[in-house]
Structure 1
Amino acid sequence: MFQRGESVKYHDSIKQANKTMTLAVAQLHQWHLPVNPINYAVGYEYCKNNKPILTASIKRLLLSGKALDGFFMEQLYKEHLLEQSKFRDDIIADLSQLFTQIQENCLQSTSGAQALIDQLDDNIPALMSNDRSEVKAAITKLHHASTAFKKQQQQLIAQLEHFQLQTQALEDELEEVRQEIYLDPVTGLHNRKALSKHFEAWLSEDAERGIAAIVVSIDHFSQFSERFGALIGDVILSKIAKKVSSYVDDSGLPVRSASDEFIILLPDVDGDIASEIAEKIKQGVEKLRFVSVKSGVRLPRMSISCGISEMKKKEPLNQFINRSRKAINSEKLTN
């Protein structure tokens, strides 16, 4: 399935690559994951132990008692292994070219304006002359300078309109990449990378800022997906995600954090209000009804469990979120 050329990609000797490849496949079996390209790439890097953040993310999830799944491995692959340097180089090259052209046009405009001013300076004395032929010649020179300047300005306007189209195209490309980097493709919610980014931004604005977290876990979702298939599972997941996000205003951040889990960060909200929001979300999800479009069969109702916590002073994000997860486990044990 995977060739020995893998050693070239990872700059290993063939012997070392074969050894790491064997360890990676064994590790995937231990994690009960299929040996597909994404899982293999992540497993390979884990066994090489050259990416400490990737390794720490895997160990942290395993210590929490949760199993690794395809969603988690895909997130790691996108965050740590997916090559985006070519895109960045292309964007930088395009922007550099655009700025150079704009700079050149600004210089041309300045040069044209200066040429017109020079012509005015040179010919104004002649306009004051009593010699009609001299005045006429000065007027002719000024007319030619004015015509040339207008022509140059028209060309610059056309070029600027072209640059505006190029700029818009670049902005559209950048927006697509932002969507890919910070949004979950199945639910349209933010992903874990966006979670960290917003969390850091909020605290940089105000280190004492209060933040509440709601962790939403879909009950028995893995069994549901196994029974009805991943495609229907994704459809149900997106509908639940839409319902969850409908209870969060623009200041909050709804995130898909795992295959069956969402996190809602609520800045400037205390635990009591977060509990009220969580209860409304639970009631909203329980009211959802699902019917298979293909067969017309009514699908089982879905329920969720919620854990709420308030961030403590200078508490790391992962520790903060894990306290909400523990609250879910306590709720399930109580029920």
Structure 2
Amino acid sequence: MSFEDDYQVTSKFSEHTHDFLSSHLIAPTPVNYSVIYLYISNENEMLSAAIDKTLQRGELITADFIADLFKRYVSFTQQIENTILAPFEQTLSDTLEQIDKQVDNEDKAATNLQKLDKILAKSKNNASMDNIVSYLYNTINNTKAQHEALSQKLTKTQQEINQLKDKLASSREEALVDSLTGLLNRRGCDEKLQHLDHADTHSSLAIDIDHFKKVNDTFGHFIGDKVIQRIAKTIQSHIGEQDIAVRFGGEEFVVVMANTPITEAKKTAEKIRLSISKMKLKQRDTNTYLPPISVSIGIAQNDNISEWTTLFEQADNALYQAKNSGRNRCICA
């Protein structure tokens, strides 16, 4: 597609976006505009399906509804920046530059007309010409004022875009992190793995808290969450900055030890296991200690493995061997 064709398509999408927002009495804020632009351009199928379903039911499209769509389908993706913000920001920057040049030219023209006006004012025979110059001078000053006002509005829009970008970055970060432990979640793990070369030697630890259901049933989920948090901190304290620690779900954790052979990974796994087994957790309300907590760990290395999921499955199988062998131990695949 040529630049002209691409420009015409995006301009059409933009026009339809404004029409949609106007027809539903919704302000064209950056968030509202972004969501509806993605809907009009059909860039996000799940978002489009949600809007279509609401329209089919005859329900109102509100700003709150759009804000929810933004949070669910847009804020954690890079799509909005690549599809909307980047080209819009470039256009905005170019427009501001053109306005600045126009204002500069108008300043020069006004200065020249002011000089001419002073010259004509000294002559009594140039009243009509003096009136024309005054008219032009006033017109240029009015135009300049309008351009400056437009520039201020566009600058404010630029600030809103920057705020939106910060919001997107924050939302993406939150979408990659487990809120309870601060470790990565599965989505965060997938993103981090993209930066590792699978051809290098990596090891994976599959870690599961032993008899965790009994902890929840006996002491409640609040205490159970505290146990998970303490174990997450213990895991994090025993691995390197290049390693990837993940809460995979419930009481299960995964660690990807980058550029680490299985022999070294097992040493780290043993340190984690021993540290957890020595933990003493006290319940504040009753001032009593919880029973000893332990974990079982399965370890695998990516030898002749082309997929990360296969590595995780091998570590998981080793974890089940550890569970079936009496728990509170580490077993290599």
**SS, match of residue 186 in structure 1:** coil
The TM-score normalised by the length of structure 1 is 0.58
Correspondence 1:303 to 2:291: no
> What is the aligned counterpart of 2:235 among 244, 247, 257?
244
Distance 1:89 1:324, change over 3 A: closer
> What is the aligned counterpart of 1:315 among 306, 323, 326?
306
> What is the aligned counterpart of 1:191 among 185, 192, 213?
185
What stretches of structure 2 of length at least 5 have no aligned partner?
1-67, 124-129
| Alpha-carbon shift at residue 161 of structure 1 (Å) | 5.0
Distance 1:84 1:210, change over 3 A: farther
CA distance in 2, matches of 1:135, 1:159: 42
Correspondence 1:268 to 2:251: no
Bigger drift between 135-144 and 145-154 goes to 135-144
CA distance in 1, matches of 2:69, 2:281: 38
Distance 1:244 1:166, change over 3 A: same
What does residue range 88-99 of structure 1 map to in structure 2 within 5 Å?
88=73, 92=80, 96=84
**SS, match of residue 190 in structure 1:** coil
- Equivalent residue pairs, number: 246
| Alpha-carbon shift at residue 241 of structure 1 (Å) | 1.0
Deviations 1:86-112 (A, max 9, x none): 74469959x958975873574254145
Contact 2:85–2:161, Cα closer than 8 Å, also in 1:
no
Amino acid at match of 2:159: Q
Correspondence 1:168 to 2:156: no
**SS, match of residue 255 in structure 1:** strand
CA distance in 1, matches of 2:208, 2:288: 25
Contact 1:191–1:256, Cα closer than 8 Å, also in 2:
yes
| Alpha-carbon shift at residue 258 of structure 1 (Å) | 3.2
Corresponding position of 1:211:
202
Bigger drift between 100-109 and 286-295 goes to 100-109
| Alpha-carbon shift at residue 299 of structure 1 (Å) | 0.8
Amino acid at match of 1:191: N
| Alpha-carbon shift at residue 307 of structure 1 (Å) | 1.8
Corresponding position of 2:315:
324
**SS, match of residue 235 in structure 1:** helix
CA distance in 1, matches of 2:236, 2:253: 10
Distance 1:279 1:84, change over 3 A: farther
Distance 1:153 1:102, change over 3 A: farther
Contact 2:106–2:140, Cα closer than 8 Å, also in 1:
no
Corresponding position of 1:156:
151
Contact 2:110–2:141, Cα closer than 8 Å, also in 1:
no
Distance 1:320 1:155, change over 3 A: same
| Alpha-carbon shift at residue 289 of structure 1 (Å) | 1.3
Share of identical aligned residues, percent?
Answer: 17
| Alpha-carbon shift at residue 290 of structure 1 (Å) | 0.9
What stretches of structure 1 of length at least 5 have no aligned partner?
1-82
